[in-house]
Every structure is written in C-alpha cells, then in structure tokens.
Amino acid sequence: MAMGYSDAVMDHFINPRNVGKMENADGVGKVGNARCGDIMKIYLRVEDSIITDVKFNTFGCASAIATSSMATELIKGKPIDDALALTNQAVVDALDGLPSVKIHCSVLAEEAIKAAVKDYYDRHGIEYDPALFAGLGKEHEEE
C-alpha cells in the first residue's frame, strides 16, 4: 500500500463524502498549504445553530482529500460551536492514522472548518473570542 495509508484513508480518498460546492452557504472557509499545494474549501449550511449540511472542494493529495471527507462527516449534524472543537488529531484518529509526513494535510482540514465557522460568525454578527482563530491563515512550514 503506497505510503502506508489505512483502509479508512483509502476509502475516503476513493469515495469522498460531501464533495461539491454549495450555493448560498452560511459560512465558507478556504485555506491552503504550500508544502504539497493542497487547497481546501469548506461550505457550511447552518440552521438553528446546527450544521445541517457540509460540502468541500479540495485540490490536493490523498491525505488532504481523505481528511476533508472525514472532517465533514464528523461535523455534519453537530452544533456549530462543536465544529470548532474538532481537532486534526480527532480526524486522524477517525481515519486510523496518517503517515507522519502527511499530518500537515489534516491540519488543513481543521483550519478550513475553523475558517468557515469564523465566516459564519462574521456574517451573522455573532460575537466570539478572536483567540479561537488566532492560528488561522499561517503557513505550516515549521517542523
């Protein structure tokens, strides 16, 4: 198996869930990383503070697509505030792990969701602690 991807990663890469665009989304988040050129866009539909639908559009490596897919599955149907608590580690765990050189791709999924939630808060005039989004928009070139 190339790069030691788990069956769950391969499944979500070959059959990604929630792929597509969304018209009139309530929140949109777009992030990218320079390392493998992944670009991830996430769309949220929110009704009564519940995420009723999620779509994603990702151009990137297998890990980026698999983590986007799993991340959308994990936040669908959840309260919007809970989406902020989703960590890249939770996504990696749900995928039964990722090769260590690919962990930065899962960070992108976490950030895309955070960016979409922030966009939702901004558009709807919902107050939030800016510290929640302090790390957003930074490139992940460390390590």
Residues marked as catalytic:
36, 105
What is the residue type of 2?
A: A
Q: Out of 38, 110, 111, 119, which residue is the one contacting Zn ion (CB under 5 A)?
A: 38
Residue closer to Zn ion by CB (options 46, 92) is 92
Q: Is 105 in the site for Zn ion (CB under 5 A)?
A: yes
Residue closer to Zn ion by CB (options 23, 142) is 142
**90 Cβ neighbours under 8 A, 6+ residues apart:** 74
* Stretch touching Zn ion by CB under 5 A, among 19-27, 78-86, 97-105, 117-125: 97-105
Question: Nearest CA to 25 among 113, 86, 132?
Answer: 113
Whether 72 and 27 have beta carbons less than 8 Å apart is answered as: no
**Considering the complex, what minimum distance in angstroms separates the CB of residue 38 from Zn ion?**
4
Q: Is 28 in the site for Zn ion (CB under 5 A)?
A: no
- DSSP collapsed to 3 states, 55-120: EEEEECCHHHHHHHHHHHHHHCCCEHHHHCCCCHHHHHHHCCCCCHHHHHHHHHHHHHHHHHHHHH
Q: Is 36 in the site for Zn ion (CB under 5 A)?
A: yes
Q: Out of 51, 64, 75, 115, which residue is the one contacting Zn ion (CB under 5 A)?
A: 64
Residues at the interface with Zn ion (CB under 5 A): 36, 38, 60-61, 64, 105
